C-alpha cells in the first residue's frame, strides 16, 4: 500500500501547482495548449520507452480491439478534462475548478461502490454525506450548477476508473492513450499554423520552452497517478486527491485574488471536516487491524 500512497500523493501535489504553469501560458489558446500537451507528451514518452527498450507490449495491444476501445475512451476523458481545466484556469475560474476536484473524490467513492464492489464503513458513510452536503451548499450559494466543477469531476473520475481496471502498466497505458490522441493534436497544430493562427509561432522563447516542457510536466504526474491507482483502493485514492484542490484553491485566492466569501467558506469547511473524519477513521481502522 505505501508505494501507491506515495505515488498518488506526488501526482496530486504536482497537479495542485498547475494553475501557476497554465497562467504563465495565457498567451496561448486553450485548444492549442491542449494540442501541444499531447504532442510534447508523446515525444517525451517515446524517448522514455526507447531508453528503456520497452516496446514489446505494443504489437499485442494493437491487435486487441477491446483493449484499444477501452483506452480510446480513457483518452477522450483525459483530453476533455485537460481542455476544460486549461480554459477554466485562464478564464479566472481557478476556485471553481478546485471545487471540481473536491467533488471528484465523491465520484470515485460512488464509482468504486458501483463498479468495483468496494464497501464503506459507517463512519466513512458519514464523511461522504457531510462532504456531499458541502457540495450541495456551494451549488445553492452559486445560484446555478457549477458545470465546470461537475465536468472536471466526472471526466477525471471516469478516467481514474478506467485506469484502475486497465490491464496495461502506467507507462504503457499512458503511451497508448497519448498515441491515440497525438494524430488529432498534430493535425490541429498543422492546420492552425498553415492559417497563421499559431500562438506558438509568435510566442516568446520563454513561452515556447514552457510549452515544450508540457511533455514531462504532463506525463510524470499521470504516470504517478496511474501507478498509485493500481495499488490502492479507489476510495483511498479519493481521499488523497483532496491535496490537488486544496493547493488550487490556495493559489486561486492568495495569488490570483479570486473571490472566496462566507458561503464558500461554509461549503469548503464541510468538505474539509469530512476529509478529517474520513482520515481519522482510516487511521483508527488501520491501528485496529495491526493490533488484531
**Residue closest to 14 by CA, chosen among 244, 212, 178, 285:** 244
Write out the DSSP string of 134-188. Answer: HHHHHHHHHTS--HHHHHHHHHHHHHHHHHHT-SS-HHHHHHHHHHHHHHHHHHH
Neighbour-count burial of 40, counting CB atoms closer than 10 A to its CB (0-12 exposed, 13-18 middle, 19+ buried): buried
- Neighbour-count burial of 221, counting CB atoms closer than 10 A to its CB (0-12 exposed, 13-18 middle, 19+ buried): buried
pLDDT, residue 1, reads 53
Q: pLDDT value at position 103?
A: 79
Q: What is the pLDDT along the chain (292 residues), one digit of tens a residue?
A: 578 888 989 998 998 999 999 999 988 989 999 999 999 999 999 998 999 888 999 999 989 988 899 999 999 999 999 999 999 999 999 998 988 887 787 787 788 888 888 788 888 888 889 988 888 888 788 777 788 988 999 998 899 888 877 778 778 888 999 999 999 999 999 999 998 888 988 889 999 999 999 888 888 888 888 788 778 876 677 678 778 888 999 999 999 999 888 888 898 888 888 878 877 887 787 778 778 7
pLDDT reported for residue 202: 87
What's the pLDDT score for residue 238? 66
Give the CA distances from residue 82 to residues 14, 37, 52, 277, 280, in Å, rounded to whole numbers and listed in that order.
Answer: 14, 9, 28, 31, 32
Q: What pLDDT does 234 receive?
A: 66
Q: How far is CA 266 from CA 97, 114, 134, 139, 152, in A?
A: 17, 30, 7, 12, 22
CA distance 91 to 82: 14
pLDDT of residue 205: 93
Amino acid at each position: 500500500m505505501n508505494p501507491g500512497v506515495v505515488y498518488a500523493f506526488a501526482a496530486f501535489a504536482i497537479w495542485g501547482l498547475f494553475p501557476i504553469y497554465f497562467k504563465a501560458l495565457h498567451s496561448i489558446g486553450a485548444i492549442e495548449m491542449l494540442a501541444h500537451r499531447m504532442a510534447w507528451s508523446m515525444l517525451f514518452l517515446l524517448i522514455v520507452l526507447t531508453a528503456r527498450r520497452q516496446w514489446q507490449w505494443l504489437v499485442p495491444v494493437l491487435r486487441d480491439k477491446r483493449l484499444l476501445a477501452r483506452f480510446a475512451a480513457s483518452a477522450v476523458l483525459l483530453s476533455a478534462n485537460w481542455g476544460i481545466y486549461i480554459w477554466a484556469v485562464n478564464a479566472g475560474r481557478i476556485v471553481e475548478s478546485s471545487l471540481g476536484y473536491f467533488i471528484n473524490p465523491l465520484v470515485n467513492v460512488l464509482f468504486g461502490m458501483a463498479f468495483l464492489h468496494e464497501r464503506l464503513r459507517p463512519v466513512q458513510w458519514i464523511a461522504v454525506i457531510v462532504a456531499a452536503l458541502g457540495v450541495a451548499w456551494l451549488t445553492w450559494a452559486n445560484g446555478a450548477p457549477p458545470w465546470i466543477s461537475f465536468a472536471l469531476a466526472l471526466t477525471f473520475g471516469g478516467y481514474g476508473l478506467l485506469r484502475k481496471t486497465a490491464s496495461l502498466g502506467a507507462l504503457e497505458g499512458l503511451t497508448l492513450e497519448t498515441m491515440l490522441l497525438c494524430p488529432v493534436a498534430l493535425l490541429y497544430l498543422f492546420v492552425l499554423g498553415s492559417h497563421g493562427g499559431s500562438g506558438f509561432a509568435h510566442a516568446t522563447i520563454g513561452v515556447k520552452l514552457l510549452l515544450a516542457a508540457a511533455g514531462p510536466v504532463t506525463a510524470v504526474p499521470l504516470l504517478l497517478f496511474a501507478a498509485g491507482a493500481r495499488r490502492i483502493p479507489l476510495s483511498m485514492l479519493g481521499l488523497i486527491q483532496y491535496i490537488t484542490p486544496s493547493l488550487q484553491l490556495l493559489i486561486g485566492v492568495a495569488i490570483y485574488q479570486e473571490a472566496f466569501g462566507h458561503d464558500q467558506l461554509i461549503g469548503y469547511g464541510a468538505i474539509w471536516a469530512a476529509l478529517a473524519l474520513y482520515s481519522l477513521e482510516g487511521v483508527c481502522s488501520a491501528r485496529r487491524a495491526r493490533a488484531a
